[in-house]
Amino acid sequence: MGLSKIVRDSLNTGIDDNSDATAITIDSSENVGIGTSTPAEPFHIKGASGAATDVQIQGGDDTNQIRLFIGGNTNRTNGRIIYNTASDYLAFSTGGDQRIRVDSDGLKFGTDTAAANALDSYEEGTFTPSFTGGLTGSSYGDQNGTYVKIGQLVFFVIELDITNGQATANGNQIKIDSIPFVSAAASPMIYGQGGAWVIFNNNFYNVDTGIYLQIPTNTNQIKLYRGAGNALAGNDSGVNGQNDLHIAGCYRTA
């Protein structure tokens, strides 16, 4: 029916909506209550009788925190959002425990505050891989790369189909270049930050011992090795530079 009158007493100022004499209450501490005549915080919304939750907002000049409670007085710590004005972070809690924190480092889980453990990025994309060692002059039928990056971890899939003419082979190690991000530096790892595995080999390498693929430190290349651990050269007798090689892999970025 709309607001019709303002009711004042020694403790409260209430705004009557013709059905509830204290639809909005301002108490002696200047707390504002909606649906309650006894607001517990500077701003307090109380659900109707039998409703599952209350909502309260608490200012935080003294504690450097502004808090949003969802649950009311009896279980106010169960669901809450806290913004810390001094440290500039948001914290989200359910069931009484902090679940995630968002700050300048990124997303952190639980009560963890370590910058190294923050999830700071998620990305999907494509790239164009190529043979840059061992095989030259390649003409590709398919030359595709896709990736997903979550924090420092990159997962990728590559299709290299040399179907439009024989590649020129030489004695250098076969390398695949242009994976989407440079791998992490040597410390604490020495030899590599990841690797890959063959998911389709259409006679690209026809030796039973197979091939192994390593992503060294501080590079955006993949190096190919024979089963015995030696570098796989383009002129190795098992290499056929006119066939398909599909791989998937993962590695850590800087």
3-state helix, strand, coil in the chain (%, to 5): 0, 50, 50
- What are the beta bridge partners of residue 146? 126, 157
The total number of structural domains in the chain stands at: 2
Q: Look up the domain containing 151 and give its range.
A: 123-252
Torsion sign over Cα 112, 114, 117, 120: positive
pLDDT at 23 (0 to 100): 75
* One domain for residues 106 and 184: no
CA distances from 122 to 59, 65, 127 (A): 33, 29, 16
pLDDT at 5: 44
Residue 171: per-residue pLDDT: 95
Instruction: Identify the weakest region by mean pLDDT among 85-94, 121-130, 141-150, 163-172.
Output: 163-172
Say if residue 248 is in the same domain as residue 149: yes
Q: Which pLDDT score is estimated for 14?
A: 54
pLDDT of residue 223: 96
Q: What is the pLDDT of residues 116-135, one digit of tens each?
A: 899 999 999 999 999 999 99
**Same domain as 130, residue 108:** no
157 Cα distance to chain centroid: 19
pLDDT at 71 over 80: no
What pLDDT is stored for residue 69 in this prediction?
82
Indicate if 55 and 151 belong to the same structural domain.
Answer: no
Q: Among 76, 95, 117, which residue terminates a domain?
A: 117
Identify the CA nearest to 196 among candidates 162, 220, 163, 172: 220
pTM of this prediction?
A: 0.74
Say how far apart CA 247 and CA 44 lie, in whole Å: 58
78 and 183 assigned to the same domain: no
- What is residue 68's predicted lDDT score, i.e. its pLDDT? 83
Q: Quick one: 105 and 145 in the same domain?
A: no
What's the pLDDT score for residue 4?
A: 42
Mean pLDDT of the chain: 84
Residue 165's CATH number: 2.60.90
The structure tokens 């003419």 sit at: 165
CA–CA gap between residue 88 and residue 65 (Å, rounded): 10
User: In terms of domains, do 111 and 155 share one?
Assistant: no
Verify that 113 and 140 share a domain, yes or no. no
- Examine the domain organization and report whether 52 and 161 are in the same domain: no
* pLDDT at 99 (0 to 100): 95
pLDDT digits (tens, 9 = 90+) for 165-191: 778 999 999 999 999 999 999 777 777
Q: Are 203 and 234 contained in the same domain?
A: yes
pLDDT tens for 28-56 read 888 888 877 788 788 887 766 545 557 78
Final residue in a domain of this structure, among 117, 139, 170:
117
Are 18 and 53 in a shared domain? yes
Instruction: Assess whether 141 and 245 both reside in one domain.
Output: yes
Chosen domain end from 84, 117, 150 = 117
